[in-house]
Amino acid sequence: MTKTFMFNALKEAIDEEMSRDNTVFILGEDVGHYGGSYKVTKDLHSKYGDLRVLDTPIAENSFTGLAIGSAITGLRPIIEGMNMSFLLLAFNQISNNAGMLRYTSGGNFSIPIVIRGPGGIGRQLGAEHSQRLESYFQAIPGLKIVACSTPYNAKGLLKSAIREDNPVIFFEHVLLYNLEQKLPNKEYFLPLDKAEIIRLGTDVTILTYSRMRYHVLQAVNILTKEGYDPEVVDLISLKPIDIKAIVKSVSKTHKVIIVEECVKTGGIGAEIIAQINELCFEELDSPVVRLSSEDIPTPYNGRLEQATIIHPHHIVQSVKMLV
């Protein structure tokens, strides 16, 4: 076991896959000589050269289209969005090309592409750099979506995503890159469609993902000292949602709280509630509680920014109210 930061765990995953398979390459703004805006690709340029660690112009629609075309012809591109918000400029390529071409070609093409990079609400990055795009991409058929939350699952999920033959949107939270954790020295992979049960409990099921995992765990530390017994599930896979794991937990606790950084209207939580109501409504003792960000662009002002998102005390209050 070796202790490492999340940004380095992601780099290890890319390095291992590029070393194993010469069809894997990475492209994006400043991924080469600069080493990536969060140093996920640091030093890879000197190891693999300009054609496999490709610095692109500031033109997300163009280089995303280039990557999709290269995937069709047999390569396995990894796109780094300097900030995932910028990939809205490539929304057409992601939805009409990456998500569709396997189907509209009658299965003649596969699109083994990973689109990854930092997102979420940081520390005063401004509205255009603080968007939560998971709900934008969730509506696109043909994509898989994962949100890593620890150095361990970041590395195992990214290696699996690179070997996946379908397009994967890979969300990394901008405030989690400096998390440290011991990782196995041997190679490992994690499934792209499974949730992680962080804590078993009987009182209430708390569903969360990405950075909110840590706000939930802070709340759980407080709640357990007061005699509460919550079960905590890190969704990880946002598309497809691991509904089997959710139903199993709900059938035990009969109460659900969803904690997300996504906005409430049309967010990931809204989709989860719909699926719970369809599949295990009779298991619920009360309506599902949804703790989501405010439906506004994220303010630059630090205090206002903090006021838009969920904090541990909100989770504690909701568990006490529900239980």
End-to-end CA distance of the chain: 40
How far apart CA 179 and CA 183 sit, in angstroms, is: 12
Residue 270 corresponds to which tokens in the numbers above? 């809204």
3-state secondary structure of 24: strand
- DSSP alpha helices (H): ranges in 115-166? 134-138, 151-163
In the residue annotation, 261 being an active-site residue is answered as no
Kindly name the residue from 60, 80, 261, 271 that is annotated as catalytic. 60
- Locate all alpha helices (DSSP H) within the chain, ordered by sequence: 6-20, 44-48, 60-72, 91-92, 101-104, 134-138, 151-163, 212-225, 243-253, 268-280, 302-307, 312-322
Residue 300: partners with Cβ closer than 8 Å, 6 or more residues away: 124, 126, 127
Contact (CB, 8 A) for 144 and 167: yes
314 assigned to active site: no
Residues forming beta bridges with residue 255, ordered by sequence position = none
Report the candidate in 217, 198, 172, 196 with the shortest Cα–Cα distance to residue 8. 172
Q: What is the enclosing helix (H) or strand (E) of 239?
A: strand 237-239
| DSSP helix/strand/coil, 153 | helix
Q: 129, 134, 215, 271: which is the annotated catalytic residue?
A: 129
> Which single residue is written with the structure tokens 């361990």?
152
A 10 A CB-CB count for 202 gives 12
Say whether the peptide bond before residue 141 is cis (omega within 30 degrees of 0). Answer: no
Cite the DSSP H helix spans in 105-242. 134-138, 151-163, 212-225
Residues with active-site annotation: 60, 129
